[in-house]
Structure 1
Amino acid sequence: MSRIVYVNGRFVPYEEATISIMDRGFLFGDGIYEVSAVVNGRLVDNEAHLARLDRSLGEIGIRNPHDAAGWTRLEEDLVARNGLTEGLVYMEVTRGVHERDFPFPPAEVAPTVVMFTQAKTILASPLAERGAKVITVEDLRWKRRDIKSVALLAQVLAKQQAAAAGVAEAWMHEDGLVTEGGSSTAFIITEDGRIVTRPLSTALLPGITRRAVMRLAEENGLTVEERAFTVEEALSAAEAFYTSASAFVMPVTEIDGTRVGGGQPGPLTRRLRGLYLEMAGAG
């Protein structure tokens, strides 16, 4: 059966889905996207993802075409139509279709809306069992990284460097300080058990999984410290991990060829992953 996708008010087979060549998302990367995980056929932490979508759209002046309830209905319908039990729902909103020109089109131009699902093994991820290797790369992105823009060329280049190196992720750095992963939030754990991640600012995306993991850690008596950390500190950390909607909590066992935590997923990281899986309804 063909995968069903959503394009501008219609559910259609993937093979029949089309977008205008004059769409501003295609021409300028002028759009916002969001990704929600699906576990046991249910959306995970979806309200927070939709709130971030709304904020990002507002930051660049694109009208949100749906309220949270409307988005949720579309997501749940798409999940049901595709029989998705575990994986992701991708949503994208662009500034719409108009003759190519840099300034915004007239206000009456409707945003383009695209949605699709992807099946993905998240819960029983083999990578989570053995731990991920990462490399560090220079952060080449623009200055509003808090906006979840579809303009992802710097991340594409970072992720390609990681793929070419045979590792799972690239941690980006600026002035010697880790900002975040190519598609994730970076964490380290110190020898005395403090969970460290960079504080929110325009330098990084406000990760939804990041927020949930920090809340779970604090609810379970663990110490969370929001501060910047260097690449060198990451290399000498007791444990490391990254978070995202598609990975949940992913242990890191090697950074730039240096083993972290003896090269095995650490106990605190495993505990945090377990807490998140429980919250996500994986039981």
Structure 2
Amino acid sequence: MPGREKIQDANDFQKKAEEKIAKDQRPDAGNDQQEAKNRLEQAKKRLEEILRQMREEEQERVLADLQHRCEKMLQMQEIVYDNTRKIDERVQASVDKKPSREEEIAARRQSDKEDEIVMEADRAIALLEAEGSSVAFPEVFHQVRNDMAHVSRRLAKANVGPETQAIEEDIIATLKEMIDALKKQQQEMRDRKNSPPPPPSQDGPQNLIDRLAELRMIKAMQVRVYNRTVLWGKRYQGEQAKEPDIVSELKDLASRQARIFQVTDNIVKGRNQ
């Protein structure tokens, strides 16, 4: 066990102190007690350093894993997006501008592909929530995962139009932002490793994602919620706005706004998730 030698030394000094107290050699006993205290403090610092290193190594692993997952999801999403556009082009080129049986089948295939991306997002969310220190990133993943679910549902109904493509574009943009943030965070960790060790922090362990990076992600989420709300308000009016799927998406946007507020409040107050 790291620090075992220091602890054993402290134990030896404590025993010596006990013996000297029994012999009424109090000044010498006091010296031994102080030495025991010093050795225990050294052992404590050694253990804290080892725990810090283990924590950093675990964070490096999580960051690399998340980056890999985001890159995989991005690649998959870009393929679905390209295929969605191609199907829509064929639909728009038809006389009645309605999807044929063949195009409906093609759209459902893309829906299945989107479901695979949703599963990847679920794994990333589980990883982040298990790590526990990030506040905004789990919410970003939840929101992008919900968008993926919306896309899957729309594609299953052969809805390949501009609105579906707009959601896909948001997913792609969000994943790119997350990849960029994860890369920067990993670089910062490498830079810290190459710098002199900082004094012990009173603020607890280093967070997985820098708070400034999380605030940038919150701002991006807010912009997307606003833009989507404006777009949906223009596209879906009257009876169309009462369709169950559209009502569900509008409710989701309202829920996102509330969660963004909560996440921001958590960061300001130093709370996790």
- Given the two structures, how large is their TM-score scaled by the length of structure 1? 0.25
Q: Which has the larger radius of gyration?
A: 2
Structure with the larger helix share: 2
Higher share in strand: 1
Identify which of structures 1 and 2 has the higher relative contact order when contacts are C-alpha pairs closer than 8 Å and 6+ apart.
Answer: 2
